[in-house]
Amino acid sequence: MTADTREKAIHTSVLLAETMEYLQPVSGGVYMDGTLGLGGHSEAILEKSAPDGRVIGFEWDESAIEKAERRLAIYGDRLQIVRRNFAEIGEGLEEAGVEAVDGLLIDVGLSSLQLDMGNRGFSFQRDEVLDMRMDNRRSVTAESILADCTREELADIFFYYGEERQARPIAAAIMENRKQEPIRTTKQLVSIISKAVPRRFHPGRIHVATKVFQALRIAVNTELENLAQILDDGVDWLKPEARFCVISFHSLEDRIVKRKFRENPELEVVTSKAVLPSRDEILGNSRSRSARLRVAKKK
């Protein structure tokens, strides 16, 4: 099995069939994949829109771009990759020479590639540097947030971005520990969190550090701000009847998508409820269990 084949097997695109059903790619169409990743969704769009449909793939993770380029090389110039976050949709589509798209897809949050192979501190399962940048051109890291923020700022990050109920004691513990030594690794942070949260408050189904790591990642990459931006600006780049598909993975994101879709007078909500992965998909890919797909259509 080649390295590319192993990556395809490990990093499975979630809600793939459902997304294609709602996006409805056709030959001759131009589609934007706002989160190219390893290219699973883009590959499906290119297959469905053969022989001459096009995909403009946005991706700001350099390592993901390299892998997607290899995987999708067979599609030639039907795929155009832009190294930007999807929030920069205007600049990116102008660079690609595209005036409007027939469909727009974003898959929000952390990719399996970053979690499994990034070596950048996204996972608390291994001891890594506390980086968490999806784009290494950015200056803010998880380490710098832990070093520079006040106790109140840290508590707010953990509470609002991670919905962590123990945000204040965790923030206080970080302040105390950083007086002794810089907090630079995932192992250090996990130890601080585990000790700061009383055993009786350790969650049963997830690791005690899960929500703090989520919150830091969101803060480092300004994920919620970027999501709100694309939901506002993306509509202007859709052709009439074009579909806007968003896959999210936690309640913070899903609430933003649901509200933005309903409030925009130019959109018609297609999915009255979020589309969830099937039981078979969850059994085959446990990371899909929290995925939610919402779809709207440009009027």
Q: Counting Cβ atoms within 10 Å, is residue 108 exposed (0-12), middle (13-18) or buried (19+)?
A: buried
User: Residue 154 is part of which domain span?
Assistant: 139-220
pLDDT tens, residue by residue, 45-62? 999 999 999 999 999 999
- Please enumerate, by residue number, every residue annotated as part of a binding site for S-adenosyl-L-methionine: 39-41, 59, 86, 107, 114
Of 28, 81, 30, the residue nearest 59 (C-alpha): 81
How far apart CA 231 and CA 179 sit, in angstroms, is 41
* Distance between first and last Cα of the chain: 46
Same domain assignment for residues 187 and 254: no
* Domain co-membership, 48 together with 77: yes
Is residue 236 domain-resident? yes
Is pTM beyond 0.85 here?
yes
The model's pLDDT over 4-45, given as tens digits with 9 standing for 90+, comes to: 444 444 467 999 999 999 999 999 999 999 999 999 999 999
Known binding-site positions: 39-41, 59, 86, 107, 114
pLDDT digits 0-9 by tens, 163-200? 999 999 999 999 999 999 999 999 999 999 999 999 99
Residue 49 near residue 39 (C-beta atoms within 8 A): no
- Residues 215, 249: one domain? no
Report which of 202, 195, 190 is spatially closest to residue 173, judged by C-alpha positions.
Answer: 195
Residue 161 counted as domain residue: yes
Q: Do 102 and 31 form a contact (C-beta atoms < 8 A)?
A: yes
**Is residue 160 one of the residues assigned to a domain?**
yes
SS3 264: coil
Which pLDDT belongs to residue 12? 76
> Does residue 92 sit in the same domain as residue 19?
yes
CA distance 193 to 215: 13
Q: CATH number, domain at 216?
A: 1.10.150.170
Residue 8 pLDDT = 45
- Rounded-to-integer distance, Cα 285 and Cα 11, Å: 9
What CATH number is attached to the domain comprising 94?
A: 3.40.50.150
Claim to verify: residue 215 and residue 238 sit in the same structural domain: no
